[in-house]
Amino acid sequence: MSDEKNFKDLPAGKSISYQHLLFYLEQGREIEFVYKEKEYFISHSLEGRTVWNGQKRISEHFRDNDVSLLESTKIEGRTLADLLKQNEIKITAIF
Mean pLDDT of 15-25: 90
Task: Read off the pLDDT of each residue in 12-20 and give the average, rounded to a whole number.
Answer: 83
Return mean pLDDT, the chain.
Answer: 89
Distance CA 89, CA 25 (A): 15
Alpha-carbon distances of 60 from 5, 16, 31, 45, 74, rounded to whole Å: 31, 23, 16, 12, 11
CB 51 within 8 A of CB 80: yes
Domain boundaries, the chain: 11-94
| pLDDT one-digit tens code per residue, 69-79 | 999 999 999 99
Residue 32: predicted pLDDT: 96
For residue 6, pLDDT beyond 70 = no
Bridge partner residues of 40 (DSSP): 33
pTM across the whole model:
0.85
